[in-house]
Amino acid sequence: MKIAVVALGKIGLPLAVQFASKGHEVVGVDVNGATVDLVNQGIEPFPGEAQLQEKLSDAVAAGRLRATTDYAEAVPGADAIVLVVPLFVDNDAKPDFGWMDDATDSLAKHLTPGTLVSYETTLPVGTTRERWKPRLESGSGLVEGADFDLIFSPERVLTGRVFEDLRKYPKLIGGLSAEGASKGKAFYEAVLDFDPREDLPRTNGVWDLGSAEAAEMAKLAETTYRDVNIGLANEFARYADKVGIDVYQVIEACNSQPYSHIHKPGIAVGGHCIPVYPRLYLWNDPNATIVQAARVTNASMPSYAVSLLERVHGTLRDARVTVLGVSYRGGVKETAFSGVFDTVAALKSRGAHVKVHDPMYSAEEIAALGFDPFVVGSASDAAVLQADHVEYHSWSIAELPAIKTILDGRRTMQRNQWPESMYVAIGDGAISPA
């Protein structure tokens, strides 16, 4: 097959490489000329994705993958087009379709008969049928279901382990017609491999959910579940802090039987997915009070963590406080909805002098984000762990000399590394009840 992949980001490029690894001709489209140039040289533009460099080099060297900024080069005559352009939410938590609209319009101008179009970007329910179908038809002059077929198939992978997740999880699809869904199923079966899984109710592979709307909701539901579950864990942690209970022991005990799956509490819920997709769900279902409450709870956790630090340390006015972690989670160089922003803001609102560190970012990169970089080994009065980078697990007084208080927002540091400091984690019951 000839396949076009629109947007060569942290999901799109691994997908393009995966498709090429199955012997297909793949052309990637991206608006970033620098990304296109690197891909054509066989160089990964964002290091950190397992196996990507090796697979990319092989695909480019074999002539099965190339990149372009020109839709006219990639789209005409394609058997399938997979679009993974980012969708953002604005400050009012409303979807901002700007980038996706532009990509769809560009795609439509060059769409030719016989093509399968698959959107993998997470969407509010109804978007594929109500927004993309008429936009593609208007821009191309073609008719969906007769001249081309349109499906929705949500990406279900995490950056850093995309190739592993592609094999591990069923590929969900939903079409606008039974024939389109059948073509979508055949396409993904031709470009993906699946690991056997005895724990699933049916064979691991491509699962047709019966409609684009069902596939759209499945992605929103599985991610919203995580946000709600974390919100519940955070509520438990805040109560535990009030009464002096170690919530981590409680959660471990609860999860020892198969009907409880409580997640871990923490200082922030970040990334492109968990903080965003519940808002897309709320766009469809604004009266979902449980979803709303979880989002409010999770969004308030950086401020709560700083309040807990203040409760343990005392006044933070003029205190030297170091925030550990710019990334939204450990091991990933990405700041999307990272808790670092609200944590720093909450500290500054209390008069603290704040510095920020992250092993994955240079001092220049940290400064470019608007933060004062921390130099390892310089003095701090207090520190807040925001991202659970593995490097912080072994930190001690050598990295943070004269430190008085540690607030571990992820409970991943080693308490015994701080014998002369006050160490507390969110919900660990280490301080006297309020």
Q: What pLDDT score does 281 carry?
A: 94
Q: What average pLDDT does this structure show over 368-388?
A: 97
Q: Tell me the CA distances in angstroms from 73 to 16, 28, 79, 135, 413, one per residue in order.
A: 16, 10, 14, 21, 51
Q: How many residues does the chain have?
A: 434
User: Which of 10, 55, 264, 273 is flagged as catalytic?
Assistant: 273
User: Do both 199 and 345 map to the same domain?
Assistant: no
**Annotated catalytic residue, options 219, 264, 355, 404:** 219
Domain boundary among 256, 276, 299: 299
Average pLDDT, integer, range 411-420: 89
Per-residue H/E/C for 159-224: CCCHHHHHHHCCEEEEECCHHHHHHHHHHHHHHCCCCCCCCCCCCCCEEECCCHHHHHHHHHHHHH
Full residue range of the structural domain in which residue 171 is found: 2-210
Q: Give the chain's largest Cα–Cα span.
A: 72
The chain-wide mean pLDDT, for the chain, equals: 96
Compute the distance between CA of residue 104 and CA of residue 176 in angstroms, rounded to an integer. Answer: 17
Domain end (from 299, 329, 360):
299
- Answer yes or no: is pLDDT of 215 > 90: yes
Is 273 marked active-site? yes
Q: Number of helices (H) and strands (E), helices first, in the chain?
A: 16, 15
242 is catalytic: no
pLDDT tens digits, 286-304: 999 999 999 999 999 999 9
In the block, residue with structure tokens 């992949």? 5
Is residue 434 included in any domain, yes or no?
no
Q: Which of 299, 317, 348 is the last residue of a domain?
A: 299
Q: Per mean pLDDT, which range of 24-33, 51-60, 425-434 is the poorest?
A: 425-434
**pLDDT (average), residues 140-168:** 97
Specify whether 295 is located in the same domain as 309. Answer: no
CATH number at residue 12: 3.40.50.720
CA pair distance 215, 210, nearest whole angstrom: 8
- Provide the number of structural domains found in the chain: 3
Q: What is the pLDDT of residue 48?
A: 85
- pLDDT on residue 417: 87
pTM above 0.85, yes or no: yes
**What distance in Å separates the CA atoms of residue 324 and residue 411, rounded to the nearest whole number?**
13
| Residue range 326-341: mean pLDDT, rounded | 94
pLDDT at 91 over 80: no
Is 96 a residue whose pLDDT tops 50?
Answer: yes
The H or E element spanning position 366 is: helix 363-368
What integer pLDDT is reported at residue 434 of this predicted model? 47
> If pLDDT is split at 50, 70 and 90, which confidence band does 85 have?
very high
